[in-house]
Structure 1
Amino acid sequence: MQLGSFVTSERRLADGIKIFQSVLPTKDEDRLVVLEFEHGTMIGVFDGHYSDELAEFASERLPRLIAEKFDPTAPDVDQVITQIFEDFDRSLILKVTELFEPGEDWTGEHWTDPGNIFEVVGYSKKDPKFAGARLAVVGTTVLLGIIDKSKKQVWVVSLGDSDAVCGRMQDGKLTPILMNDRHNCTDAKEVEKFLADHPGEQGLIKWNRVLGLLAITRALGDHQFKVQSRPLASRIMMYLYPSPAIPFDEWDKNGNTTPPYLSSSPAIRRFDLLPGDMFVFASDGLRDSMNQVPETERWDILMALVNGESRERQLGYGRVHASPEDNPAELLIRNMLFGDDSDKMAKELADSDRDDISVVVVDLGWTL
């Protein structure tokens, strides 16, 4: 993908659902998934960090694992999905530990020599062992929407801080309904739980980040924050380069010795659908692009733009009017970022510091 260039597509599914996708990449760490399966349709947004590797790997495998076990009539469907997430995450650290002897002691002098570590894990991503082990040191958030075949219900599965919003027609306008929990350091409930899990420790939240490094409190991967063995994290995993720089000495001084500091357990919500409902699934880059707008107004503005309304007063510029050939997901990104302001468009498209923005607009194909 190329900086400043939209990657846009659309699909029309057998049950009448229309899927519109658009990505505006910078780091190219987001991945989008649309999966038709026995019990319905699954939409996935995977937002990687430190690289695209785990977002790519998880997006190819996790939705299919869930599709194989998903039964909308089962009373334990939430527990089944949660177990799949947790098992998948455990499988990532096994890609590291299974390279060593069972019960390996990483505190030994032998493992202070990087050459001994490379002999086991490999020297670069060209080595399948090294490439597999790297999936444990990078990370990704996950957002899944599972629409049942009858289009009567949707399950929203969230791990991290992407966004799922239902647009419901009320009094002639699309009203936003936020459908997922947000797991990051700006969410008061997440922070309260996180602090309670590690009483007496210092530096747990710095700069609105877990241990000063990650804005999210839940993710797949990032096992330096999760493994019980500090030598495994500080000696072995740091050589699966390029890996994030972890200040282990500072963690020790602050008493940060009670991992895990990230969770791999998703939050799951189920909603009944009404005729006319539509969805927007988006990585957090879309939400962050609205920082000039109070959070209480952001989703109203988003749904107004989806519904073809102008919001020049809040955004400071006019919207681009839709034509029949426009992709609604791309048009939504354009109108959120710059609308009809050509100077702002040039600035935004050239911004290499902006987060990736990925959007899926779902038209359920209702016949009203």
Structure 2
Amino acid sequence: MASFKDNLAQFPTAQTDLGWEGAGPWDYRKVPEPVLSSLLASVAKANTSASVDIIDFQPQTGQSSEDRYIVQDWHFKNGTWKLLAIFDGHAGDETVKHVAAYLPGQLQSALIDLLAKSEWRIDPSSISNLLSKVIISYDDFLTKDLYDLFPGGVEELSKLSDDEVKAVIHDSGIGGPNHAKVARCMQGSTVLVSLIDPNRDNIWVASLGDCQAVLGIRSDRKASWDVTILSANHHAALPSEIEALRAKHPGEPEVSLNDRVLGGIAITRAVGDHIFKLDRLWCSKVLMNAEQRFRFHSAKPETLITRIFTPPYLSNEPQVRHVNLAEAKASNKREITFVMCSDGLLDLFDARDESDLRKVAQSWMELGSETKPENPRDPYDNGALRILREGLGGENEDQVAQQLTVEMTGKWLDDITALVYRIQ
């Protein structure tokens, strides 16, 4: 099947190092406008669903994104609720596919039950608790699936040979149901979930990992945006996260190495990633015997397992924020824009800490809130696409062309997903 780059042979070739000192150079195509904007919109899969602008971007040919997003309207007795979610998978796509397929339905069922019991009245704290409970239960279910493969528990597992373990977990080879259960525990995913009530008076955001959600409110187009970061950044490079991790595991100097949990993973909360959650026996006897191997750039799994003493080291408990939007509406705040993104977008804008994100979010709100594109070259009225374009180079067409068409064998950009919803 032909890739989008196969259609660019008509344009001249140049070379770039992508700004990486001592690297490259690599060939790229000098794609002119308006072809460049149309190509970007196509590769980014720019679209609008349920009034939400969406991009899902990975420019490397043949490289599928490990991001997933969900945009759904839930039509309940008390009106239409909106669910927005981004899941950023890592070490493979088994976990991220599963969480995207099952978690939204579990949240929907739990919300229906909660609202029915409360006679369809909204209790913000109850919905915050629901989000946390359902996400934790989802991850606990992955653990139960794994434990159920060996119902005798640790006593049984300790007596089995490696070949006997492999016979259980390699049912039908790679792709069997048991193998899939193990793979979902070996791989992992971040979780960023947002709920908005029918009157758009309330928004809840639950986060695990390093995807981000930002709310912008302003009274008119001449005013600056009042920006609120509604997600947490669960990253092992942050002092607060390291301090919390060390407090839970005193006397374990290797609980954090090189800004990674046990020297292996950069985030401190996720679903999946059970090598950081199970005891040493389950990791060594089951996970290490799986045909699908771990993929860590910073530590060998065999070494990482020797650092396990008091699991879990990775949390499945999300942080949940609630904002009463009715107060902003009542105070004549005429524009409310909400942006969610995977961490790949943060890399484009070099916005890894909270202060940088707040500054960058000002431009995101401006780009995301436009109702019509001011740039006639933009083929889409899509706020998420405009934000992506700015991060890739904005009006610097050559820089955008480099990021879009550079000829490299490996990834030069992380997967990037963004959702933009103009609440008011």
What TM bracket, shorter-length normalisation?
A: 0.7 to 0.9
Match of 2:412 in 1: 353
Identity among equivalent pairs (%): 27
Match of 1:266 in 2: 318
Alignment of 1:192-271 (within 5 A): 192-228=243-279, 230-244=280-294, 247=300, 250-251=303-304, 254=307, 256-271=308-323
The SS at the match of 1:106 is helix
State the alpha-carbon separation in 2 of the partners of residues 249 and 241 from structure 1. 15
Match of 1:140 in 2: 189
Cα deviation 1:307-343 (Å, max 9, x = unaligned): 159xxxxxxxxx9677573321112111112112233
State the alpha-carbon separation in 1 of the partners of residues 174 and 301 from structure 2. 25
More helix as a share of residues: 2
State the alpha-carbon separation in 1 of the partners of residues 340 and 398 from structure 2. 28
The structure having more radius of gyration, on CA atoms, is 2
The SS at the match of 1:107 is helix
Q: Do residues 7 (structure 1) and 57 (structure 2) align?
A: no
The SS at the match of 1:215 is coil
Q: Do residues 337 (structure 1) and 392 (structure 2) align?
A: yes
State the alpha-carbon separation in 1 of the partners of residues 353 and 142 from structure 2. 38
State the alpha-carbon separation in 2 of the partners of residues 169 and 36 from structure 1. 26
State the alpha-carbon separation in 1 of the partners of residues 172 and 181 from structure 2. 12
Alignment of 1:87-102 (within 5 A): 87-102=137-152
**Aligned-residue offset at 1:211:** 1.2
The count of residues paired between Structure 1 and Structure 2 equals 346
* Residues 234 and 248 in structure 1, CA contact (< 8 A), matched pair in contact too: no
State the alpha-carbon separation in 2 of the partners of residues 82 and 293 from structure 1. 25
**Aligned-residue offset at 1:127:** 1.4
* Residues 173 and 304 in structure 1, CA contact (< 8 A), matched pair in contact too: no
* Residues 302 and 336 in structure 1, CA contact (< 8 A), matched pair in contact too: no
State the alpha-carbon separation in 2 of the partners of residues 91 and 81 from structure 1. 16
Task: Provide the aligned C-alpha RMSD in A.
Answer: 2.7
After TM superposition, the score normalised by the length of structure 2 is: 0.75
State the alpha-carbon separation in 2 of the partners of residues 105 and 239 from structure 1. 16
Cα deviation 1:258-317 (Å, max 9, x = unaligned): 1001000111110011342110000111112122898634433343254159xxxxxxxx
Moved more, 136-145 or 122-131: 122-131
Cα deviation 1:224-283 (Å, max 9, x = unaligned): 11013x1211121123332315746545665x3110010001111100113421100001
AA aligned opposite 1:20: D
Q: Which runs of 5+ in 1 are unaligned?
A: 13-17, 310-318
State the alpha-carbon separation in 2 of the partners of residues 324 and 253 from structure 1. 54
**Aligned-residue offset at 1:344:** 1.7
Match of 2:165 in 1: 117
Match of 2:68 in 1: 31
State the alpha-carbon separation in 2 of the partners of residues 353 and 322 from structure 1. 26
After TM superposition, the score normalised by the length of structure 1 is: 0.85
Equivalent position to 2:179, from 130, 133, 136: 130
Match of 2:212 in 1: 163
